[in-house]
């Protein structure tokens, strides 16, 4: 084929598009769902800040995941396990008594606390451990705060016969004793982390140190939409099953999408899972709820990274962090072990910066009140993490019209938190020990 060059100084005429093609191009251009870019960035956030030792592992993982995304056999295995092992789809439940209590918007709960292991974490763990097996890894490490990611990782490792080591801050080991015992029953080694304040951040630090020194046989199963690329996008993609189901279920029950989505945020995996499939549905409002602890103030007695923090680098990615003037990471505070993280997933940081999602904070006191209301009105004992989201629902629902639809992700069950709640309410539990 001979190609005739254009005369010097002339430009080729653009191809004419049909109106439908123009609309499609405009939608793609304006989409909020195309990230991250090739460098793993969501705008100014994300990226890959890791040691040279880990870079080959990260690149291998990225390649394996890119292959898996287009492999029908991978998704067939995922769907089979989601259905027959996890118990998906999780119900979309109309909270009638909560709705009447508020006297405003209709409240729906996406009940991911009914998943096997009692939280959303297993959605992602299944995907990562299948990838680990495809990569020939026999040892799985994980970090955990509230213990739900640790339990999910130990569970899936038990199913596939893999060695499991879970790093958990010593403070969280104490306040999440039931989950620690569950992990041990499942055959996992639980390593209490004593560095720092002994919480989720410190557990993640030690897990990364382990990974650097055990590169041959070890896979790091990260529990949230943080860490170096491709983890934020990969975890989001696995958790997006939440939002995909919610879309279909809401259409079936109400004939339209919800007006407002609400989810609690620590690192942000359950929230990203609910939000992501709706990002391009501009009529759907999105609200993420951070842990306000004792209140968002200069004392940093909270874990509201977006509201009370600023951009920096932690655990392999650039995002909003709680830090001092010198850039040193500060210890956050929350009654909820799962929200006790001084950072947030980079995609949330980007959604916050561009204004596609709104982020608010809820205090410990407000979360405890919502916890009790949910127990008494719906017969559902929520984890302290989604209790933060529910507190915001209870705050805004009374002022919204009765035809306004709220969908909140009930991302975990609260049996793990009964001792923490009892202590906060001044109630002594006799364990009979």
Q: How many domains does the chain have?
A: 2
Identify whether residues 273 and 420 lie together within a single domain: yes
Model confidence pLDDT, tens digit, residues 206-264: 999 999 999 899 999 999 999 999 999 999 999 999 999 999 999 999 999 999 999 99
Is 19 within the bounds of a domain?
A: no
Identify whether residues 203 and 171 lie together within a single domain: yes
CA–CA distances in Å: residue 187 to residues 155, 309, 346: 9, 38, 33
Peptide bond into 89 cis (omega under 30): yes
What is the average per-residue pLDDT within 31-51? 96
DSSP assigned state of 266: S
What are residue 408's DSSP bridge partners? 109, 262
Identify whether residues 326 and 305 lie together within a single domain: yes
Question: Tell me, what's the pLDDT at 185?
Answer: 98
Identify whether residues 80 and 92 lie together within a single domain: no
- Residue where one domain finishes, among candidates 183, 204, 234: 234
Q: Which two tokens stand for residue 376?
A: 């008494």
Name the packing angle between helices 346-354 and 231-239 (round to 10°). 80
Model confidence pLDDT, tens digit, residues 183-212: 999 999 999 999 887 888 889 999 999 999
Question: Tell me, what's the pLDDT at 195?
Answer: 87
Q: Are 230 and 62 in contact (CB under 8 A)?
A: yes
Does residue 79 register a pLDDT over 70?
A: yes
Backbone φ and ψ of 140, nearest 5°? -115, 130
Does residue 20 register a pLDDT over 70?
A: no
Residue 392: give the domain boundaries.
87-118+240-424
Identify whether residues 174 and 62 lie together within a single domain: yes
* Range with the poorest average pLDDT among 19-33, 162-176, 288-302: 19-33
Question: Tell me, what's the pLDDT at 427?
Answer: 93
Q: How would residue 29 be classed by pLDDT, with cut points 50, 70 and 90?
A: low
Q: Of 264, 304, 266, 267, whose CA–CA distance to 288 is shortest? A: 264
CA–CA distances in Å: residue 205 to residues 117, 137, 251, 259, 327: 25, 21, 42, 39, 17
Q: Specify whether the backbone of 361 is left (phi greater than 0), alpha (psi in -120 to 50) or beta.
A: beta
Model confidence pLDDT, tens digit, residues 284-293: 999 999 999 9
Does residue 21 register a pLDDT over 70?
A: no
* Range with the poorest average pLDDT among 42-56, 249-263, 323-337, 361-375: 323-337
What is the average per-residue pLDDT within 335-355? 93
Instruction: Provide the 3-class DSSP secondary structure of residue 320.
Output: strand
Does residue 182 register a pLDDT over 70?
A: yes
Residue 174 to residue 262: CA distance in whole angstroms:
30
Does residue 10 register a pLDDT over 70?
A: no
Q: Which two tokens stand for residue 338?
A: 């799962």
What is the average per-residue pLDDT within 61-67? 97
CB-side neighbour CA atoms (13 Å) of 354: 15
Residue for token pair 């209490």: 192
CA–CA distances in Å: residue 310 to residues 134, 231, 287, 327, 328: 38, 21, 19, 9, 12
Question: Tell me, what's the pLDDT at 19?
Answer: 53
Question: Tell me, what's the pLDDT at 172?
Answer: 87
- 334-339-344-345 Cα dihedral, nearest 10 degrees: 180
Model confidence pLDDT, tens digit, residues 94-135: 999 999 999 999 999 999 999 999 999 999 999 999 999 999
Is 66 within the bounds of a domain?
A: yes
Does residue 365 register a pLDDT over 80?
A: yes
- Residue where one domain finishes, among candidates 208, 234, 260: 234
> Average pLDDT, whole number, for the chain?
91
Identify whether residues 368 and 263 lie together within a single domain: yes
CATH code where residue 343 lies: 3.40.50.1100
Is 25 within the bounds of a domain?
A: no
Provide DSSP, 107-175.
EEEE-GGGSTTSBTHHHHHHHHHHHHHHTT--EEEEEESSSHHHHHHHHHHHHHT-EEEEEEEHHHHHH
Is 193 within the bounds of a domain?
A: yes
Identify whether residues 284 and 215 lie together within a single domain: no
Task: Starting at the earlier edge strand, list the strands of the sheet with 139-144.
Answer: 189-193, 163-169, 139-144, 218-220
């Amino acid at each position: 084929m001979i190609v005739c060059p254009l005369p010097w100084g002339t430009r080729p005429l653009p191809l004419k598009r049909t109106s439908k093609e123009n609309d499609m191009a405009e939608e793609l251009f304006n989409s909020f769902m195309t990230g991250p870019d090739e460098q793993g960035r969501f705008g100014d956030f994300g990226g890959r800040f890791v040691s040279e030792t880990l870079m080959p592992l990260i690149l291998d993982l990225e390649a394996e995941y890119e292959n898996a995304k287009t492999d029908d056999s991978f998704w067939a295995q995922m769907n089979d396990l989601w259905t027959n092992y996890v118990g998906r789809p999780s119900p979309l439940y109309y909270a009638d008594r909560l709705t009447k209590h508020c006297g405003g918007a209709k409240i729906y709960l996406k009940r991911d606390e009914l998943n096997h292991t009692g939280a959303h974490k297993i959605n992602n763990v299944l995907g990562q451990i299948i990838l680990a097996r495809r990569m020939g890894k026999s040892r799985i490490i994980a970090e955990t705060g509230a213990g739900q990611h640790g339990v999910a990782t130990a569970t899936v490792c038990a199913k596939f016969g893999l060695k499991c080591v879970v790093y958990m801050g010593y403070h969280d080991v104490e306040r999440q004793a039931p989950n620690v015992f569950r992990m041990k029953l499942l055959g996992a080694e639980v390593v209490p982390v004593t560095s720092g304040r002994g919480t989720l951040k410190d557990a993640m630090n030690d897990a990364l140190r382990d990974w650097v020194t055990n590169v041959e046989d070890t896979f790091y199963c990260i529990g949230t939409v943080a860490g170096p690329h491709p983890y934020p996008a990969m975890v989001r993609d696995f958790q997006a099953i939440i939002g995909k189901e919610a879309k279909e279920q809401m259409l079936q029950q109400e004939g339209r999408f919800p007006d407002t989505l609400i989810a609690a945020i620590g690192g942000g995996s359950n929230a990203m899972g609910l939000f992501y499939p709706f990002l391009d549905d501009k009529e759907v409002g999105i609200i993420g709820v951070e842990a306000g602890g004792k209140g968002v103030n200069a004392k940093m007695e909270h874990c509201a990274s977006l509201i009370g923090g600023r951009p920096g680098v932690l655990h392999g990615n650039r995002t909003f962090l709680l830090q001092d003037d010198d850039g040193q990471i500060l210890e956050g505070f929350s009654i909820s072990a799962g929200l006790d993280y001084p950072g947030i997933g980079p995609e949330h940081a980007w959604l916050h910066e561009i204004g596609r999602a709104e982020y608010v904070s809820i205090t410990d006191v407000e979360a405890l009140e919502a916890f009790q209301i949910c127990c008494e009105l719906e017969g559902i004992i929520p984890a302290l993490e989604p209790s933060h989201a529910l507190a915001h629902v209870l705050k805004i629902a009374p002022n919204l019209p009765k035809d306004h639809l709220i969908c909140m992700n009930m991302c975990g069950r609260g049996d793990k938190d009964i001792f923490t709640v009892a202590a906060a309410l001044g109630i002594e539990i006799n364990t009979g020990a």
